[in-house]
Amino acid sequence: MVTGDAPLRLRVLSLSELLDETFRIYRKAFPLFIGIALAVSIPTLLIVLAFGVYTFAGGSQSFNTPEFRQDPSTIFKSAAFTSLLVGLAVAAIVNLFLIPFSYGAPVRAAIDVSLGHRPTFGSVLAATARRYFGLWGAAIVYAVVILLLSITVIGIPVAIWIYVRWVLFVPAMLTENLGPIRALGRSWTLLEGKWWRTCGILLLLLLLLYIVGLIIGTLFQFVGALIPGLSQDARLAVNQVGSSLGGVVAAPIQYIAWTLMYFDLRVRKESFDLDQLAQQVGSTGPSPVG
């Protein structure tokens, strides 16, 4: 990783400035962010295609048989359904393994670009790998707490509240070299008194991601419909590729924005500046465990 680009000017960011800086950083290192997103998405896409998981979405020739039309329960005895279950299981295992890279790598890249560095694909993955277990542990705690609270109707509002309060644990962990529990606590502290603003930004980001993914997915559906001679399963595969690529293009927006939201809150509450950021990110030592 080398330096040379102008670093981010740390300051209090309005919503429009937050979005402007997010897209500026994205454009500045677009190949890097896309490369990271592809690296964590392609394994799952290949599994989905190889095991035919995408065919279960509907309209597949695999399930359009006289036996199925006569007795839909025969689907559970079919080879296609067995392949679906195996594919889902393999994809789940791979996704669990990739969790730290899915969340950590794009945030790591956003931090480095903000410092004026020119991170490489290898340097970002290496830095993320050093915090692999911390990122994985925090993500699992995060997910388990939210899922358990969401089981009951009364717990859903609490789950949403906690989701927002913990959402910045990744930039906190990677910037301040914190362990998983301390990173979750750091996010909680920074977001005190800023819940509604943060929730609004997260909803806006969700809308942006949906729109970007929808546009790209629709383009692939259109292309698939125009190609003559494609079977229904092949068209479903094209749609799946489009959906995955839509996620690849959209996902970095969210992670860059999380990083800038973290910086913004530290500026607002702690008068955080670029020198402090460089010192914290540049500090070395063993990874903390809690």
Model pTM above 0.75: yes
Distance CA 241, CA 238 (A): 5
Distance CA 255, CA 82 (A): 35
Q: What is the pLDDT of residue 76?
A: 62
Q: What is the pLDDT of residue 81?
A: 74
The pLDDT tens digits of the residues spanning 43-75 come to: 999 998 888 777 775 555 555 555 555 655 656
Q: Is 201 exposed, middle or buried (0-12, 13-18, 19+ CB in 10 A)?
A: buried
Domain boundaries, the chain: 15-282
The distance of Cα 155 from the centroid of its chain, to the nearest Å, equals 24
Low-confidence ranges of the chain (pLDDT < 70): 1-6, 57-78, 80, 274-278, 280-290
